[in-house]
Chain A
Amino acid sequence: MSGPSLVQSVDHVALLPAYVAAGTAVLVLLVDLLLVRASATVATAVAGAVITAVAAAAVGSGADRRTFCVGTDCSYVFGDWSALVAALVALLVLGVLALSGPLLRAGNTPVGEYCFLLACSMTGGVVLGAAGDLITLIVAVEVLTLPLYVLVGLRRGSLASAEAAVTFFVVSVVATTLTLLGAALLYAATGGLHLERLGTLLADEAVPDLPLTTVAVILVVAGLAFKVAAVPFHAWAPATYDGAPLPVAAYLSTASKLGGVIALLAVVSQALPPEVTGPVLALVAALTMTVGNLVALRQRRTVRLLAWSSVAQAGYILAPLGALALSGDAAARSTAYAATVAYAVFFVLLELAAFAGVVALRPAGADGGDLDDLRGAARRHRWVGAGLAFALIGLAGLPPGLAGLFAKVTVVRSLLGGGAGWLALVVAVNAVIGLAYYLRAAALLYAPAGEVTAVGVRPARAVAAALAVTTVLAVIVGFAPQIVLDLAGG
């Protein structure tokens, strides 16, 4: 695999979104240093996120751009798919910035560092979708997660926050080590690191079917499953979410989870043999949704409820990938990939809306509190309460949350199309369990307040705006799910 020339020609246009994202991080630091005004820093980060999304869309609208190539194998491929991922991550960062308004204004959080870390993490997400080899992929995932160790621990003076940061750090490092070990073993077994080359090498009959290969595949999948918080690698998520500042928890359960899913999807769809990953992922998906939903039933704290529910949702996201083992034909497989992406898109939208609702109903800079703190909240704040209830119902997958309903429909459809009827039934049963706690939380919002004296909260304007925008988007894709399906399938 020795290239004729050591000097590669680099396609800078393909890298433009990544440049913008990284530039945003640097600029945020500079602005914070030079202007020393919180609003300017945040405005820079917001502008950077917007420009990143626009750049990703603009570059992605053209033909696929490949760069850092050795022969035909490229480490960086920016196409429709990467554009979708990059734009989504940038928009999620934008949403999380909006949710951070009250937290940053409360004054306990260093604004410059906060925005810098978010922008760094965004850079990882932007590169992730374009990663063409295992190392780029793992580095991108790490860039996405690394800043979060600090962000999780940013609630000063909170022991829970520090604990959460440490838990997250330890678990995440272990996970990365596993993935790296897997990648190294794969390299040892096949001599390839590029995803597409690995795919052809592993599918090739000539490569001996070593037990080593299977171990490597399982290590890579397991390491990435940590990032998605899939059972049995989920235990870190609830503690970490609950300890983190609310907007960071929102980021963890949307952008960070999306990153894990994208990475997993990339290796599963391009590199690894479906006959090994399919059954493993089917089992993981079934366990994840069941355990997540069952434990969520017993939660009394708002963020823990959302955390466990988001564990369960990861199960639904992974489910279509589990159907791959049985279906040999390419059409069913691409349906399964598209279903995973579509579900992930619907999910991050609703999850962000749910977190926006919680942030809006809690005092500035507070943690998520107990569920009972939200009792009767929709009677005090009609619109915000309705938005949160809508998001919860959407996550449960019922009308009027049509977005969530179509998400479930997409997954069930791909499972039955892929011949995994049993998994479809597991999804169905889990949807019922899920309704039990989502409905309880949503009904609580409308329950009479009783003796609980509510803390006077005025929802911050930025948070309310984020909630409004995500809700409107959820309504739109609820009535026109084809938009998301086209994006996911493209």
Chain B
Amino acid sequence: MTSGGFLLLAVLAVPAFGALAVAAIPRDRAARLVGVIAATLTLVAAVALPVGRNQGWTAYAATAAAVRPWHAVDLPWAPGLELRFHLGVDGISWPLVALTALLTLLCCVYTLWRVPGRGDGRALVALLLVVEVGILGTFLALDLVLFFLFFEVVLLPMYAIIVGWGGDGADPASRDAGRRAGRKFALYTLSGSVLLLVGVYVVVAAAGTADIVALTGGTELSRTTQLAAFSLLALAFAVKSPLWPLHSWLPDAHTQAPTVGSVLLAGVLLKMGTYGLIRVAVGVAPEGARWAAPALGVLAVAAILIGSLVCLAQTELKRLIAYSSVGHMGFVLLGVATLTATGIQAALVGNVAHGIITALLFFLAGAIKDRTHTGALSELSGLRETAPRLSGLLAFAAVASLGLPGLAGFWGEAFAVVAAVESGGALWTTLAVSAAIGGALTAAYLLRLLRRVTHGEPTPAVAVLGPGLATAELAAWTPLVLLTLAVGLAPTLVLGIAEAPVEALVGVLP
């Protein structure tokens, strides 16, 4: 096996064995420390993936496959189900892999310092690592059935995190709310993934293979199959992303989840949907994608507008940020729906930017809620007076989220609109204009949030805060702040690496 293949396996094996080790170690703090080490090693392996990547496009020129992984591992698993353990990484998946590894590490570090609610910190860290395995596996899988398998792995651990560590302590009403939110999350997500299962086998039954590399381009599938497959797959990913009107699990899950749960949920879990849409749905059923693109675009813009309008009316901090995700993911889906290189690039950079910024926002919202024990905007104001650092960071994250040029949020949203304009025609121009209006609304609700929370007279809840930040908090937030700046100033970090695979993908679209 090549060193690249070894790295790929390590990216999955380290957190998996890390989770087992954490679960096996009886001492709470030592176990959490082991979890941090495992997450660190995973990040190192993930960051090392581009090293020694296969730059020689000529080597692949003869096959001209639309997916050309830098490294790949391809082992048989269950031939009776067309299941192969086929992993690979390329420019589309790598930024998300690195982001996942980073966010999990930050969550583990944060948990080292603070365990939410009444729960057991050890089990939480183990579950975080299992979630990481599922998400990384989804991004790395190059076999449709394997992709589905990893897609499913995430579900129950995330449910357990929401139910087990969510809510506000011992209050039974809040526990019930947490349980309800968890169940809603599990049932919604499972309905998405069973559609994925059916969609996957619609493709596999027609093509006789589950190899994403071979299937990309949809050459072997009839138009009818592609339409059916795309409808099923797109629905499945729309639940996960989430796309309006299938989003209603998201605000509840976020509001109830503990901080680290929200960070992973918004930061990378949602990206499984958009990544799947690009890699699997569009890649495998391009004709279906072409057919459904207008509908997808309309829904994406509806998500942007409705998400923003709902945000304007929100009175709860975490709920507001959760709904803002609906709007932001709308931009990402709009980019995908254009089916142009610009649009898909915008979607990828938007994905990463949203992951970084929303993770930061949820960390900050969690910190505020932990300190003040309330998330109601009416009980929060004047944060600037008592906790200037926290307030400053919140302002930074909010401004990044609204898409200020020079910060990470700008590129994805701007280019999604540009891609829609470039697509031409009355429909896409209307969509572009509406999306731009949605962008303005985004600015409105985030500035409203800042005005409510940071400005004004300190409320009793806020008045007692001290200005200090814990070291673990700084350790968890600094990388996110730096990345927001880095991606904002040099979007080529993501775009450059994704350019070739996106061109290759767009090249096979009809």
Residues of A within 8 A of B (CB): 338, 393, 398-400, 402, 405-406, 408-410, 412-413, 416-417, 421, 424-425, 428-429, 431-432, 435-436, 439-440, 443, 446, 480-482, 485-486, 489
Contacts and interface: CB of A to CB of B under 8 A. Distances in A.
Contacts of A431: 190, 194
20 contacts: A398-B152, A398-B156, A405-B152, A406-B78, A409-B81, A410-B81, A412-B197, A412-B201, A413-B204, A416-B198, A416-B201, A417-B201, A424-B201, A431-B194, A432-B191, A435-B190, A481-B80, A481-B83, A482-B78, A486-B80
A443 B176 CA distance: 12
B187 interface: yes
B22 to A, nearest CB: 15
Contacts of B191: 429, 432
Chain B: interface secondary structure?
helix
Interface of B: 77-83, 134, 145, 148-149, 152-153, 155-156, 159, 163-164, 179, 183, 186-187, 190-191, 194-195, 197-198, 201-202, 204-205, 228
Contact of A443 (B77, B78, B179): B179
Nearest to A436: B187
A439 B159 contact: yes
A309 B22 CA distance: 34
A413 B81 contact: yes
B191 to A, nearest CB: 5
B469 to A, nearest CB: 33
Contacts of A443: 163, 179
A435 B195 contact: no
B194 A432 contact: yes
Nearest to A482: B78
Given A398-B155, A398-B156, A428-B198, A435 B186 contact: yes
A416 B152 contact: no
B79 A413 contact: no
Given A398-B152, A435-B190, A416 B81 contact: no
Contact of B81 (A398, A424, A485): A485
Nearest to B155: A398
Contacts of B202: 416, 421
B145 A409 contact: yes
A400 B19 CA distance: 13
A486 B148 CA distance: 22
Contacts of B82: 413
Contacts of A417: 201, 205
Given A482-B80, A486-B80, 19 more contacts: A399-B153, A402-B149, A405-B149, A405-B152, A406-B81, A408-B197, A413-B82, A416-B202, A428-B194, A428-B195, A428-B197, A432-B187, A435-B190, A439-B183, A440-B183, A443-B179, A480-B78, A481-B80, A482-B78
A489 B183 contact: no
Most chain A CB inside 10 Å of its own CB: which residue of B83, B179, B190, B204: B190
Nearest to B197: A412
A482 B82 CA distance: 11
Contact of A400 (B77, B156, B163): B156
Nearest to A440: B183
B149 A399 contact: yes
Contacts of B163: 443
Contacts of A393: 156
A182 to B, nearest CB: 34
